[in-house]
A and B are shown apart, each in its own frame.
Chain A
Amino acid sequence: MKIKKLYIENLRNHTTTNLEFGDGLNIFYGLNGSGKTTIIEAIAITSFTKSFLPVQDSSLIKFNEESYKISLEAKNDYEIPYKISVNYTGKSKKEINSNIGSNLSPKDVIGEMPTIVLSPDFKSITFGAPQDRRDFLDRLLSQSSKVYLEDLMHYRRILKQRNSLLYQAKIDYHFDKSSVEHWSNILITKGAEIILRRLKFASEFTPFFDEVYKFVSNGSEKVTINYMPYGFPENQELKNLDKDRILEILSEISQKNSKDEFRRGITLFGPQKDDIKITVNGGLAKETASQGQHKSLLIAIKFAEFNFLRNKKNETPIALLDDIFSELDKERSEKVIKLVNMNYAQTFITLTDISHIIDLLPEGINYRIFEVSGGKVIDKNL
């Protein structure tokens, strides 16, 4: 995928911004608060229908304005045009239109323009809480499979319904077993679908992860990434689980927890509690990895994500690198540039100091530079 044009209206400090991009690196530099991250945020919104940063959509609307608007024109690897616009008025839902249809919902567009984001905010994947790793997993799988995205949305809804039933039972001090049972059954059925897809994902993702990590670390260390479905017996061989066995295990965990669930008024099992275990040289990354290893891990995860998505979607993803080069040493920075360059990824880079990158660019690489200040962008190539 290559983005050709981007139009931004009233997003953060941008009033109207019209941009045309090159197919290689697009580098945006400017001070903090200049509005450079807003540009890749706008791209992320057209790709995921929300920002990659944890913000409320209403706070993205420019001060004193009523709505923001983003529209984007791209071409896929087969030169077929893709156009999308996202309009948000601060009320109800975003209005999403594209050349695949009008008045679309997020699930219609997520995955249409595969995108990876490498930002210091995602460091939490390797040393944060299980929730950070689940978010990573869900975002990636949602981009690669509409069925997963749909299952996930249904699962979350079922979980919410079941939790409200359990909570009500707790405060009423009355437990109607039969009415909870139907929600348990559907939670287990949908939960098993999600676990099955996550298992399949883990086995497919590992070789990509291994390969990129070797490249980033010059091949000296051994890494693994393992999916850990919550509550599954330790001795269970996960690779060979089929759906029937997963259903069986989930039912067992469900029964074991049912008394506690009633007492606490909340669901205590299921894939919303899963985790991923990442190890370096046999040690749990969260506990034993050095600062440098965490950085290499994040790069490896993100470019494994890139390769995984390209493989699934038959389409070259877009790479968004937000403020990453100030965090990386020269060697790792060069590796990142090499990774995007050898994968022919159209890449959007933000940084405060342009000198951080200029010396790292290999000869003959296709790049464009933009200066951003006060929500205005100057194309330095004109």
Chain B
Amino acid sequence: MLYTSESIERIVDLFSTLPTIGRKTAQRLTFHLLRQSTEFVDSFAYALVELKKNVKYCSSCFNYTETDPCPICSSTKRNKTIICVVEEPNDVFAIEKTSEFHGLYHVLHGVLNPLEGITQNDIKIRELLQRLEDVEEIILALNPSVEGEVTTQFIAKSLKPLEIKTTRIARGIPIGSDLEFADEATISRAIEGRSVV
């Protein structure tokens, strides 16, 4: 390309692999970093390495954590008889912000998606079915996409023989918009207005 430095080229390439970052933004970020002090860039690079080294899945809920089990799973203040099932760690964050939910979570890390080759064995459904001792209610809070819908139906059907109350969040969230982007009020209302699947 046009850059006078291979290092610049390499970083621009890397930045532009990130979601929502186009080539132009990647360039801007790269030049911004070059203008910063060496200390800043060092600590930035170190933080990236530490991020990947320290952050793992919680062995119970599969959210990201540095301690296992994660702070939510090990908290004595949470209601352990109710589990809210979400697609991604982002969704836990979105629901936690509302302070409306005091149970535990389960992160699936995806939904059923044959086009991308994702089957029930590729997401954390089996792990959910294995942690149901003492659980009285499962709330399915997946995104309102067709894939989210099918995954909701799939899990509801798997739970049926176990006779655990299974609810889904109300469809107050506009179709097509992700949980991650819904505002707090909408998410709160959706959790309150959940219905039996």
Closest to A161 in B: B114
User: Is A64 at the interface (CB under 8 A from chain B)?
Assistant: no
User: Contact: A157 with B120, CB < 8 Å?
Assistant: no
Task: Determine, out of A21-29, A177-185, A256-264, the stretch whose residues face the partner at the interface.
Answer: A177-185
Q: Which chain A residues have a beta carbon within 8 Å of chain B's beta carbons?
A: 105, 107, 150, 154, 157-158, 160-162, 164-165, 168, 179, 182-183, 185-186, 190
Given contacts A150-B175, A179-B119, contact A161 B146 (CB under 8 A): yes
A165 touches which of B114, B153, B175, B176 (Cβ 8 Å): B114
What is the 8 Å Cβ interface bit string for chain B, positions 103-126, against chain A (1 contact, 0 not)? 000000000111101011000000
Minimum distance in angstroms from B94 CB to a CB of chain A: 20
User: Contact: A183 with B115, CB < 8 Å?
Assistant: no
What is the 8 Å Cβ interface bit string for chain B, positions 144-162, against chain A (1 contact, 0 not)? 0111011001100100000
Closest to A157 in B: B146
User: Contact: A182 with B150, CB < 8 Å?
Assistant: yes
Measured between beta carbons, the chain B residues less than 8 angstroms from A157 are 145-146
B114 touches which of A183, A186, A190 (Cβ 8 Å): A183
User: Contact: B115 with A164, CB < 8 Å?
Assistant: yes
Given A161-B115, A161-B146, 10 other A-B residues pairs in contact with their CB atoms under 8 A: A105-B176, A154-B175, A157-B146, A161-B113, A161-B147, A168-B117, A179-B112, A179-B119, A183-B150, A186-B149
Measured between beta carbons, the chain A residues less than 8 angstroms from B147 are 161
Q: List 21 A-B contacts (CB under 8 A).
A: A150-B175, A150-B176, A154-B146, A157-B145, A157-B146, A158-B146, A161-B113, A161-B147, A164-B114, A164-B115, A165-B114, A168-B117, A179-B112, A179-B114, A179-B120, A182-B112, A182-B154, A182-B157, A183-B150, A186-B150, A186-B153
CA A160 to CA B115, docked complex, whole Å: 8
Minimum distance in angstroms from A6 CB to a CB of chain B: 30
Minimum distance in angstroms from B120 CB to a CB of chain A: 7
User: Contact: B114 with A162, CB < 8 Å?
Assistant: yes
Categorize the interface residue count of chain B.
Answer: 10 to 19
Given contacts A150-B175, A157-B146, A158-B146, contact A182 B114 (CB under 8 A): no
CA A154 to CA B146, docked complex, whole Å: 6
Closest to B154 in A: A182
CA A107 to CA B154, docked complex, whole Å: 28
Minimum distance in angstroms from B112 CB to a CB of chain A: 7
Closest to B158 in A: A178
- Top 4 nearest A-B pairs (CB, nearest first) are A165-B114, A164-B114, A164-B115, A157-B146
B153 touches which of A107, A150, A162, A185 (Cβ 8 Å): A185
CA A154 to CA B161, docked complex, whole Å: 30
Measured between beta carbons, the chain B residues less than 8 angstroms from A179 are 112, 114, 119-120
Measured between beta carbons, the chain B residues less than 8 angstroms from A161 are 113-115, 146-147, 150
CA A182 to CA B150, docked complex, whole Å: 6
Measured between beta carbons, the chain A residues less than 8 angstroms from B157 are 182
CA A186 to CA B157, docked complex, whole Å: 14
CA A105 to CA B177, docked complex, whole Å: 11
- B119, B120, B147, B150 interface centre (most CB from chain A within 10 Å): B150
- B114, B115, B145, B150 interface centre (most CB from chain A within 10 Å): B114
User: Contact: A182 with B153, CB < 8 Å?
Assistant: yes
Minimum distance in angstroms from A147 CB to a CB of chain B: 10
Minimum distance in angstroms from B41 CB to a CB of chain A: 31
Closest to B157 in A: A182
Measured between beta carbons, the chain A residues less than 8 angstroms from B120 are 179
Closest to B115 in A: A164
Measured between beta carbons, the chain B residues less than 8 angstroms from A105 are 176
User: Contact: A168 with B150, CB < 8 Å?
Assistant: no
CA A162 to CA B146, docked complex, whole Å: 11
Minimum distance in angstroms from B25 CB to a CB of chain A: 14
Measured between beta carbons, the chain A residues less than 8 angstroms from B113 are 161
Minimum distance in angstroms from A337 CB to a CB of chain B: 42
Minimum distance in angstroms from B21 CB to a CB of chain A: 13
CA A165 to CA B113, docked complex, whole Å: 9
CA A276 to CA B46, docked complex, whole Å: 65
B152-197 contacts to A, CB under 8 A, are 153-154, 157, 175-176
What is the 8 Å Cβ interface bit string for chain B, positions 130-154, against chain A (1 contact, 0 not)? 0000000000000001110110011
CA A150 to CA B75, docked complex, whole Å: 42
Measured between beta carbons, the chain B residues less than 8 angstroms from A158 are 146, 150
Measured between beta carbons, the chain B residues less than 8 angstroms from A162 are 114
CA A190 to CA B145, docked complex, whole Å: 13
Measured between beta carbons, the chain B residues less than 8 angstroms from A160 are 115
CA A232 to CA B120, docked complex, whole Å: 33
Measured between beta carbons, the chain B residues less than 8 angstroms from A190 are 146
Given contacts A161-B113, A162-B114, A164-B115, contact A186 B146 (CB under 8 A): yes
What is the 8 Å Cβ interface bit string for chain B, positions 92-107, against chain A (1 contact, 0 not)? 0000000000000000
User: Contact: A168 with B146, CB < 8 Å?
Assistant: no
Measured between beta carbons, the chain B residues less than 8 angstroms from A168 are 114, 117
